[in-house]
Amino acid sequence: MMTPLPRRRFSARTQAALAVERLAAEASRRLGRGSGEMIGGKLALRIAPDALAEVGSNRLTACVSATNGKTTTTRLLARALGTLGPVKSNSGGANMAPGVLAALSKPPYDAAAALEVDEIWLPKVARAIEPRVVLLLNISRDQLDRSNETRRIAALWRELGADLRDTVVVANVDDPLVAWSAMTWSRQIWVSAGQNWTADAMVCPQCARLLHRNATGWWCECGLARPEPIVSVAGLGELMWFGRRIPAHIDLPGRVNLANAAMAAAAAREFGVDVEDALAAMRGIGDVQGRYQEVPLGPDGKLARLLLAKNPAGWVEMMELLNSAPPRPVLIDFNSQTADGRDPSWIWDVPFERLAGRQVLVTGGRKEDMSVRLAYAEVPHTVHADAEDAATAANDKALDVVANYTAFRDLLVRTTR
């Protein structure tokens, strides 16, 4: 049975909104239309626009925003905060205001929360719930057809920081857009999380001059420069942590996920979680929303590791991850539906030449575009009607599948049903 809402805390309007949220979400789940977070939250916010502030403020919350790594970092943070007590999280990936409301609107209402928030939605959500900590990881080109200029996102975050006087920001110093956006906040925890993709951070966000760079930093003639980090990834399996070197191992692969873990641990520290406890809690996460999971694929049950890459920065990270293990066949499943961005031009920003030497298979709604890209990169490949057919053609029992957003979603539904 439902726990009764604590009547003293919420306005009648918000109570009604939360009741509707639960009914709608439950109905949507029963009808098999996903986790129901979106529809329930949307209805609730229409009934009570202030519901997010009422439900989310005055509790221990952290918001995670970025172009890449939001879902994983939120998951890691939720694990770390879980060492203190119950934690709410929009673990289904619904990361706009309705999804955040859905995560917060289940009792207990004093539970901590680790919340993934869309880059554009962050100002609205954070102004409503006034989180204790905000994590800002990176900003890069994504969904080109939406023309969310990268600098505009940084400027929105910068304004937000000036308004939230009691919020600490955990920010990546290696991304100039992020560092600039974090400088207005009342307190910063600077983390060196790395930046594999620099093409969107060539121009100073403050004065539009070209940034200078060397191996350790970036700076501009106007005075803007990389802040000195207090936490950094020192190597695979090591962090520099407030002046000491500590071992750090998690089960998710790649340097990028260790950087995500460092950001999450730095945020958890603000809630009183020791770094050792935080990292220990993060171990045991082997997949996030199906990412990094190995599933049987195709009629002969090939073992497919599912990987998500939905923009150039994500692909560059994925190349690093792929090339850190013995080469396996790689299947690229590439769509350009609305949720992917309709414009596939960005694949020409990805150094696909680095796939040379392994078997490459291609499928998806824009498989022909990917095929032309690979042809010009002189990467031999075959084109297939669907992922199952491609898996059959793989010349190994195990393969890596790199899919973008809708391709990944559809593949996950088909392979884990």
Partner 1 sequence: MSRESATRIALIYPELLGTYGDGGNAIVLAQRLRWRGLRAEIVEVPAGEVVPADCDIYLLGGGEDEPQVLAADGMRRNRSLTRAVSGGAAVLAVCAGYQVIGASFPAGNGRVHEGVHLVDMETRRSFDPPDVPPPPRAVGDIVVEPDQRLGLPTLYGYENHGGRTRPLPGSRGIPLGTVRLGVGDGTPARTDGIVDGKVIGTYLHGPVLAQNPALADLLLTWVHGRLAPLDAPVEADMLRRARARALAGG
Give catalytic residue positions: 343
| Phi then psi dihedrals of residue 306, to 5 deg | -90, 125
- Dist. CA 290–CA 416, nearest whole Å: 9
Give the pair of three-digit tokens for residue 181: 């956006």
Site residues for partner 1 per CB under 8 A:
141, 144-145, 147, 149-151, 199, 202-203, 208, 210, 342-349, 368-369, 371-378, 383
Minimum CB–partner distance for residue 286 and partner 1 (Å): 34
Minimum CB–partner distance for residue 210 and partner 1 (Å): 5
- Dist. CA 60–CA 329, nearest whole Å: 44
Q: Which of 404, 369, 411, 353 is nearest to 386 (CA)?
A: 411
| Residue whose CB is less far from partner 1, 128 or 211 | 211
Query: What is the DSSP secondary-structure string of 259-285?
Result: HHHHHHHHHHHHTT--HHHHHHHHTT-
| Residue whose CB is less far from partner 1, 116 or 119 | 119
- Dist. CA 123–CA 130, nearest whole Å: 10
Minimum CB–partner distance for residue 2 and partner 1 (Å): 44
CB-count burial class (<10 Å; 0-12, 13-18, 19+) for 66:
buried
Minimum CB–partner distance for residue 194 and partner 1 (Å): 19
| Residue whose CB is less far from partner 1, 200 or 317 | 200
- Scan for tokens 């199906």, then name that residue: 290
Give the pair of three-digit tokens for residue 48: 């009570």
| Residue whose CB is less far from partner 1, 300 or 353 | 353
Do the annotations mark residue 63 as ligand-binding?
Answer: no
Do the annotations mark residue 222 as ligand-binding?
Answer: yes
Minimum CB–partner distance for residue 369 and partner 1 (Å): 6
Angle between helical axes of 312-322 and 255-270 (0-180°, round to 10) = 110
| Residue whose CB is less far from partner 1, 13 or 342 | 342
Cβ contacts of 26 within 8 Å, gap of 6 or more: 36
Letter for the amino acid at 317? E
Per DSSP, helices labelled H in 183-311 are 255-270, 275-282
State the binding site for Zn(2+). 204, 207, 220, 222
State the binding site. 204, 207, 220, 222
